[in-house]
């Protein structure tokens, strides 16, 4: 009896383990076979294609202006193609969205995905972790769009800089944004006879004057952490204007994290945090615009995309945007730094690829594109777009010369810790974190050396 | 028989402090939920001046909570029903030694509490079975053998074995005996296991985050969490949503608290 | 002896056992075993990527990469979290159970109230406390201000972690209380009566009657509480998902498997390694706890 049971038990056990093993490998094989163009690209359009109802799943992050712009576009799209509806799958930006994107792509559960530029790692980034989007493309999860006619509507630079990898074009990029600037409340500035600061001492003076008059100089969404790091891009860029050369020097060991430039960056950031409104570490990104628009603080270091949200929160408000003047030398404070923002790509395993292509084509039509880019407030990547928003018109001349920010150039080393995931770990700085600039610099260097030693 | 391990005044003092600590957040929540948004921004803590109930229909509509609560009820009922049934059917032969290797099997099931976090391979398994983002998949990952099994096995041991023999002499088959005699006999412990597991399934927010992508399939806890992410600056709306989600539980609890608490207590003694 | 016949009908119990065994092995035990196998590979979450066995590399990375301090800090917090939650919850839970068992007026209402968060669930009470701890003039901030202080609470590098512990205890205390109540009510009243006749003081009856009689209840539940609190991370997932000063091992597993930390994310193999190490920790702690608790039971 016993031996029979054992045998039975073993059969059950092994067969279930087999299921699991198949599952693990199946994961592999699935990807390979369906990513080959022969298997997927040849979906022949049949007669019923135009009438059978299709639902396109679009994965993107929650940013009210983006969602509204998409909703408008989707309505127009469905009006043109009545059988296709587009549904959203959203999450909070940054980390949660990366999670969403990962699960949807790997579960073949999205047709169109949004991301940023591809930013593959460069040759000298030996030992850097492979960026997620690069991994997705390498694994055949993203559809190759090379040669599609609608690409021609976009500037060649944007296609090349943002969407090209391995000599193929993988998507379209909606526009550029900068996030090294500071929104300021023009009324509060005027009331206190303040001018837009162009150097660090001037900025400190502005902050002090505001504080003395009872207005909180700055606010920021400290609760979500990432806005702190985003603003730090302006700090490192003003101190090291040639960021790509700087990046190379870090990887070659010529620049150390204990060098004075990091000290200056962290100390100045610490000074700025000293002028934040009380409780900024409890403010989340969705609330911060409202606080600025309500006049709770006079300045908000943030991405330019929130201009629309500010105007919506308080239509009467007069506000402007200036580059964070971190250097003591006004000449170094003139530039904006940023990135290619939202890109649209098609999931290679999508069952509705034809419809998804139609969507991108529709999106790229100058009229639709122009409306969209105006709504989301990016700097356009199509030529001949008229910017309607006065804010965009105002900053466009200066901002369209923007350079790539440090967090776009930087590639985190494999197994990076809290100190070198970015080169501006300001979230660890008091009072957001627990450490002094010196402690952070030493820890950065220590962590870096460990990572580099592990490579050998 | 009264036991005075704690002097009366101290007892009352402790109860008062703790009651405050538990009541205040709930009262405050309710207070915020009936505030106009502007009043909340100006004075978040004060007692509401202009009572406004419109936060409730707003939250209800924007959060689609009706459907989400329905989802949660389905997941919980299905996963708990399935778990309790299979646990009971397995616990009996193991507690009686009617299958070989019974004590090994008992330990084998019990180590489920300690096992390494299996989220990653489990996700791959569910995905490759085509069960990702499906109701069935989410029910299956929530179905399991855990504490309930232990409680049942313990309880069954206290049922005299003579009962089995008597039943067999009466000509009952094993299946009839288990289904018509044993299961009704262990009702209290079935209820306890069901309640304990229901709390776990209802609140499985990590599983829902990982296994479900379609908003229409979300259980209420995930829907609520996403709602909070989406409206994170509108606390009056979120508070209303929280009250909406909490009320059916509160109501159920009011009616069933004797069973729920006493169920948890029986579970404790038997284990 | 199996009384229900021979041959065919002898198989019935096995049939009844089968569904539980299958579901358990396929969806729970099997994946756990595979977690251990995964931990020696470089499998990623990106389907269609080649993978291979890489020996102990993931383990080496845990103990000697740039991120190692993060893991050590998470490990330390996991232990603190488990110790604080288990310790405070048990002590406070027992004390409150004794208070309730004194059967003062309103004790039934009080018992229900304190158990309520268990029913409401971690998402609901986590968000309620987020509201309570709103640093922009929330009620707790107002109280803080009475003492001339202010804090960002869940955004604070120092307070956030203790607060997650507090909220975890607040949410689960009722369960512990109820368990101890059950234990207390199973102690025959005459024992205390006899003690009183012998002139025992309150603490003496506690030390000589209540505590020893509760030993089995304490043992089982302490073990479950320790194991549970070493593994849980829902509270952190809900309250402080971005705060680098609150992460615990369980959350690091989630982050490596499903999160977005540059240089770590998407790596199912490495995530599994962290899970296996966490398992090792749970096993060691549980065995030590078991050893001491059993010994204590015997002594009494």
Tell me the three state secondary structure of residue A216.
strand
- Residue pair A439/A418 in contact (Cβ under 8 Å)? The answer is no
Residue C199 region by backbone torsions, left for phi larger than 0, else alpha for psi between -120 and 50, else beta: left
Residue C213: band (very low, low, confident or very high) from pLDDT cuts 50, 70, 90: confident
The verdict on B225 touching C (C-beta cutoff 8 Å) is yes
The verdict on B102 touching A (C-beta cutoff 8 Å) is no
Phi, then psi, of A201 in degrees rounded to 5: -60, -40
Contacting residues of A for C265, CB less than 8 Å apart: 98, 102, 132
Contacting residues of A for B214, CB less than 8 Å apart: 89
pLDDT at B79 over 90: yes
pLDDT digits (tens, 9 = 90+) for B106-121: 999 988 888 999 999 9
- In Å, how far are A194, A300, A409, C295 from A182, measured between CA atoms? 15, 5, 22, 64
- Rounded Cα gap, residues A355 and C59, in angstroms: 45
B183-215: burial string, b at 16+ Cβ within 10 Å, e else: beebebbbbbbbbbbbbbbbbbbbbbbbbbbeb
From edge to edge, which strands make up the β-sheet containing A54-61? A84-91, A54-61, A112-115, A343-346, A172-173
SS3 assignment for B162-204? HHHHHHHHCCCCHHHHHHHHHHHHCHHHHHHHHHHHHHHHHCC
Residue C299: band (very low, low, confident or very high) from pLDDT cuts 50, 70, 90: low
- Residue pair A325/A200 in contact (Cβ under 8 Å)? The answer is yes
> What is the pLDDT, as a whole number, of residue C27?
94
Q: Is C263 close to A279, i.e. CB distance below 8 A?
A: no
For A312, which DSSP code?
A: H
- Minimum Cα–Cα distance from A97: chain C residue: C260
**Percent of all residues in chain C with a pLDDT value above 70, rounded to a whole number:** 97
The separation between CA A32 and the C-alpha centre of its own chain, rounded to angstroms, equals 29
Contacting residues of B for C217, CB less than 8 Å apart: 268-269
Is the torsion defined by CA of A350, A351, A355, A361 positive or negative? positive
- Average pLDDT of chain C is 88
Contacting residues of C for B144, CB less than 8 Å apart: 23-24, 27-28
Domain that holds residue B239: 57-270
Partner chains of B (3+ C-beta pairs under 8 Å): A, C
- In Å, how far are A442, C69, C210, C254 from C76, measured between CA atoms? 22, 10, 34, 17
Residue B266: band (very low, low, confident or very high) from pLDDT cuts 50, 70, 90: low
Residue C262: band (very low, low, confident or very high) from pLDDT cuts 50, 70, 90: low
Selected residue of C74, C92, C99 to mutate for chain B interface (largest B Cβ count, 10 A):
C99
pLDDT tens sequence for chain A (456 residues): 344 444 444 444 444 444 444 444 444 433 333 333 333 334 444 445 567 899 999 999 988 788 889 999 999 999 999 999 999 888 877 777 888 888 888 888 899 999 999 989 888 888 788 888 999 999 999 999 999 999 999 999 999 999 999 999 999 999 999 999 999 999 999 999 999 999 999 999 999 999 999 999 999 999 888 899 999 999 999 999 899 999 999 999 999 999 999 999 999 999 999 999 988 888 888 889 989 998 999 999 999 988 888 988 899 999 999 999 999 999 999 999 999 999 999 999 999 999 999 999 999 999 999 999 998 889 999 998 888 888 888 888 888 888 999 999 998 888 788 899 899 999 999 989 999 999 999 999 999 998 888 876
pLDDT digits (tens, 9 = 90+) for B221-256: 999 998 988 887 788 999 999 999 999 888 888 888
- Rounded Cα gap, residues C17 and B94, in angstroms: 8
- Partner-chain residue, chosen from A28, A106, A443, that has the shortest CB–CB distance to C45: A106
- In Å, how far are A116, A177, A398 from A392, measured between CA atoms? 20, 11, 10
Q: Is B121 close to A24, i.e. CB distance below 8 A?
A: yes
Query: Is B121 within a domain?
Result: yes
Q: Is B226 close to A20, i.e. CB distance below 8 A?
A: no
What's the structural domain count of chain B?
1
Q: Is A432 close to C157, i.e. CB distance below 8 A?
A: yes
Instruction: Look at residues C293, C257, C276 and name the one whose alpha carbon lies nearest to residue C39.
Output: C276
> What is the pLDDT, as a whole number, of residue A147?
93
- Residue pair A184/A163 in contact (Cβ under 8 Å)? The answer is no
Contacting residues of C for B257, CB less than 8 Å apart: 112, 115
> What is the pLDDT, as a whole number, of residue B257?
78
- Partner-chain residue, chosen from B41, B100, B121, that has the shortest CB–CB distance to A2: B100
pLDDT at C297 over 70: no
Query: Is B28 within a domain?
Result: no
Q: Is B128 close to A23, i.e. CB distance below 8 A?
A: yes
A415-449: burial string, b at 16+ Cβ within 10 Å, e else: bbbbbbbbbbbbbbbebbbebebeebbebbbbbbe
Contacting residues of C for A92, CB less than 8 Å apart: none
CB pairs under 8 A between B and C: 295
pLDDT at C196 over 90: no
Helix axes C249-258, C268-299, angle to 10 degrees: 160
A70-94: burial string, b at 16+ Cβ within 10 Å, e else: beebbeebeeebeebebeebbbbbb
- Residue pair A60/A114 in contact (Cβ under 8 Å)? The answer is yes
pLDDT, mean of residues C250-270: 82
Q: Is B121 close to C31, i.e. CB distance below 8 A?
A: yes
Q: Is B112 close to C28, i.e. CB distance below 8 A?
A: yes
Instruction: Look at residues A122, A381, A413, C12 and name the one whose alpha carbon lies nearest to residue B99.
Output: C12
Q: Is A129 close to C262, i.e. CB distance below 8 A?
A: yes
Query: Is B18 within a domain?
Result: no
The verdict on A116 touching C (C-beta cutoff 8 Å) is no
Query: Is B44 within a domain?
Result: no
Query: HSE (CB half, 13 Å, CA atoms) of A277?
Result: 25
pLDDT digits (tens, 9 = 90+) for B197-213: 998 999 999 999 989 98
- Rounded Cα gap, residues C24 and B143, in angstroms: 8
Query: Is B43 within a domain?
Result: no
Cβ-based burial of A193 (10 A; exposed 0-12, middle 13-18, buried ≥19): exposed
- Rounded Cα gap, residues C47 and A34, in angstroms: 11
The CA distance from A456 to the nearest CA of chain C, in Å, is: 12
Tell me the three state secondary structure of residue A128.
strand
Contacting residues of C for B263, CB less than 8 Å apart: none
> What is the pLDDT, as a whole number, of residue A301?
97
The CA distance from A222 to the nearest CA of chain C, in Å, is: 7
Which of A307-316, C9-18, C81-90, C238-247 is predicted most confidently?
Answer: C81-90
Residues ≥6 apart with Cβ < 8 Å to C103:
B2
> What is the pLDDT, as a whole number, of residue A412?
86
- Rounded Cα gap, residues B182 and C36, in angstroms: 39
Query: Is B63 within a domain?
Result: yes
Residue C37: band (very low, low, confident or very high) from pLDDT cuts 50, 70, 90: very high
> What is the pLDDT, as a whole number, of residue B269?
55
Query: Is B6 within a domain?
Result: no
For C207, which DSSP code?
A: I
Contacting residues of C for A20, CB less than 8 Å apart: 26, 30-31, 34
Instruction: Look at residues A321, A373, A370 and name the one whose alpha carbon lies nearest to residue A342.
Output: A373
> Hey, how many other C-beta atoms are within 10 angstroms of the C-beta on C45?
26
The verdict on A208 touching C (C-beta cutoff 8 Å) is no
- Rounded Cα gap, residues B98 and B194, in angstroms: 25
Domain holding B107: CATH number? Answer: 1.10.3720.10
> What is the pLDDT, as a whole number, of residue C184?
86
pLDDT digits (tens, 9 = 90+) for C68-127: 999 999 999 999 999 999 999 999 999 999 999 888 888 889 999 999 999 999 999 999
Query: Is B156 within a domain?
Result: yes
pLDDT, mean of residues B46-53: 87
The verdict on B196 touching C (C-beta cutoff 8 Å) is no
Partner chains of C (3+ C-beta pairs under 8 Å): A, B
From edge to edge, which strands make up the β-sheet containing A403-404? A379-380, A175-178, A337-340, A403-404
Q: Is A141 close to C46, i.e. CB distance below 8 A?
A: yes
Contacting residues of B for A99, CB less than 8 Å apart: 209
- Residue pair C249/C273 in contact (Cβ under 8 Å)? The answer is no
């Amino acid at each position: 009896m016993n031996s029979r049971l054992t045998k039975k038990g073993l059969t059950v056990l092994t067969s279930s383990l087999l299921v699991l093993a198949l599952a693990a490998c199946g994961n592999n094989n699935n990807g390979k076979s369906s990513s080959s163009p022969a298997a997927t690209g040849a979906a022949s359009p049949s007669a019923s294609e135009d009438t059978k109802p299709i639902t396109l799943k679009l994965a993107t992050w929650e940013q009210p202006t983006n969602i509204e712009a998409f909703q408008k576009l989707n309505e127009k799209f469905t009006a043109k193609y009545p059988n296709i509806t587009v549904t959203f799958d959203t999450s909070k930006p940054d980390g949660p969205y990366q999670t969403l994107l990962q699960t949807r792509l790997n579960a073949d559960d999205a047709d169109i995905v949004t991301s940023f530029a591809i930013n593959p790692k460069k040759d000298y980034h030996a030992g850097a972790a492979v960026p997620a989007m690069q991994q997705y493309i390498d694994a055949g999860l993203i559809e190759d769009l090379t040669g599609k006619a609608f690409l021609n509507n976009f500037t060649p630079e944007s296609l090349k800089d943002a969407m090209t990898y391995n000599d193929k074009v993988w998507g379209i990029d909606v526009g550029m944004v900068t996030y090294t600037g500071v929104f300021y409340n023009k009324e509060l500035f005027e009331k206190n006879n303040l001018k837009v600061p162009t150097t660090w001492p001037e900025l400190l003076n502005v902050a002090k004057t505001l504080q003395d008059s009872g207005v909180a100089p700055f606010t920021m969404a400290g609760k979500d952490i990432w806005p702190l790091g985003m603003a730090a891009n302006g700090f490192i860029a003003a101190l090291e204007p040639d960021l790509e050369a700087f990046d190379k020097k870090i990887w070659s060991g010529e620049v150390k994290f204990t060098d004075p430039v990091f000290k200056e960056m962290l100390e100045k950031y610490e000074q700025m945090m000293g002028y934040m409104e009380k409780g900024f570490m409890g403010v989340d990104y969705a609330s911060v615009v409202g606080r600025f628009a309500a006049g709770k603080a006079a300045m908000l270091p943030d991405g330019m995309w929130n201009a629309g949200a500010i105007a919506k929160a308080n239509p009467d408000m007069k506000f402007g945007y200036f580059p964070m003047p971190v250097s003591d030398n006004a000449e170094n404070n003139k530039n904006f730094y940023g990135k290619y923002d939202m890109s649209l790509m098609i999931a290679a395993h999508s069952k509705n690829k034809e419809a998804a292509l139609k969507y991108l084509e529709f999106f790229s039509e100058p009229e639709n594109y122009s409306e969209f880019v105006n709504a989301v407030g990016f700097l356009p990547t199509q030529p001949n777009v008229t910017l309607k928003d006065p804010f965009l018109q105002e900053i466009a001349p200066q901002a369209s010369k923007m350079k790539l920010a440090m967090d776009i150039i930087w590639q985190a080393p494999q197994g990076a810790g809290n100190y070198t995931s970015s080169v501006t770990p300001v979230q660890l700085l008091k009072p957001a974190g627990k450490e002094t600039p010196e402690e952070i610099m030493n820890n950065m260097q220590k962590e870096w050396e460990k990572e580099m030693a592990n490579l050998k | 028989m009264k036991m005075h391990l704690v002097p009366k005044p101290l007892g009352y003092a402790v109860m008062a402090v703790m009651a405050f600590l538990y009541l205040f957040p709930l009262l405050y929540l309710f207070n915020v939920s009936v505030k106009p948004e502007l009043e909340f921004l100006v004075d978040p803590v004060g007692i509401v001046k202009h009572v406004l109930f419109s936060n409730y229909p707003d939250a209800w509509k924007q959060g689609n909570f009706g459907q989400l609560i329905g989802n949660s009820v389905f997941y919980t009922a299905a996963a708990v029903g399935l778990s309790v049934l299979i646990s009971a059917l397995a616990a009996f032969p193991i507690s009686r030694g009617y299958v070989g290797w019974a004590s090994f099997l008992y330990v084998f099931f019990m180590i489920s509490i300690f096992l390494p976090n299996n989220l990653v391979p489990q996700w791959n398994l569910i995905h490759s079975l085509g069960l990702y983002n499906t109701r069935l998949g989410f029910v299956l990952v929530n179905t399991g053998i855990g504490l309930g099994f232990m409680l049942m096995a313990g309880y069954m041991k206290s049922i005299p074995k003579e009962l089995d023999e008597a039943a067999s002499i009466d000509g009952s088959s094993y299946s009839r005996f288990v289904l018509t005699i044993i299961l009704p006999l262990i009702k209290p412990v079935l209820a306890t296991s069901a309640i304990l597991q229901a709390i776990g399934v209802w609140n499985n927010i990590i599983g829902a985050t990982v296994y479900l992508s379609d908003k229409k399939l979300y259980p209420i806890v995930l829907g609520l969490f996403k709602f909070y992410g989406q409206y994170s600056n509108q606390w009056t709306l979120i508070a209303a949503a929280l009250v909406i989600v909490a009320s059916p539980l509160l109501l159920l609890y009011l009616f069933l608290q004797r069973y729920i608490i006493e169920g948890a207590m029986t579970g404790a003694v038997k284990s | 002896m199996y009384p229900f016949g021979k041959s065919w009908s002898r198989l019935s119990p096995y049939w009844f056992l089968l569904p539980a065994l299958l579901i358990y092995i396929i969806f729970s035990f099997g994946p756990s075993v595979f977690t251990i196998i995964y931990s020696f590979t470089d499998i990623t979450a990106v389907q269609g990527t080649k993978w291979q066995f890489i020996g102990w590399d993931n383990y080496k990375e845990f103990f000697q990469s740039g991120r190692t301090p993060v893991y050590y800090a998470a490990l330390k917090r996991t232990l603190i979290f488990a110790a604080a939650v288990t310790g405070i919850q048990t002590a406070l839970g027992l004390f409150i159970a004794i208070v309730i068992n004194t059967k003062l007026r309103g004790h039934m209402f009080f018992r229900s109230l304190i158990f309520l968060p268990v029913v409401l669930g971690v998402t609901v009470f986590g968000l309620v406390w987020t509201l309570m701890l709103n640093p922009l003039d929330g009620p707790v901030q107002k109280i803080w201000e009475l003492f001339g202080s202010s804090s960002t609470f869940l955004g604070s590098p120092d307070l956030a972690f203790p607060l997650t512990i507090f909220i975890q205890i607040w949410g689960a205390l009722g369960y512990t209380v109820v368990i101890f109540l059950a234990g207390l009510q199973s102690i025959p009243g005459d024992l205390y009566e006899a003690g009183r006749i012998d002139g025992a003081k309150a603490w003496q009856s506690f030390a000589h009657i209540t505590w020893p009689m509760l030993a089995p209840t304490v043992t089982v539940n302490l073990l479950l509480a320790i194991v549970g609190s070493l593994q849980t991370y829902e509270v952190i997932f809900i309250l402080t998902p971005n705060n680098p000063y609150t992460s615990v091992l369980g959350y690091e597993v989630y982050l490596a498997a499903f999160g977005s930390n540059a240089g770590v994310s998407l790596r199912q193999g490495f995530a599994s390694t962290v899970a296996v190490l966490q398992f090792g920790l749970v096993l060691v702690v549980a065995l030590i706890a078991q050893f001491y608790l059993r010994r204590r039971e015997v002594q009494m």
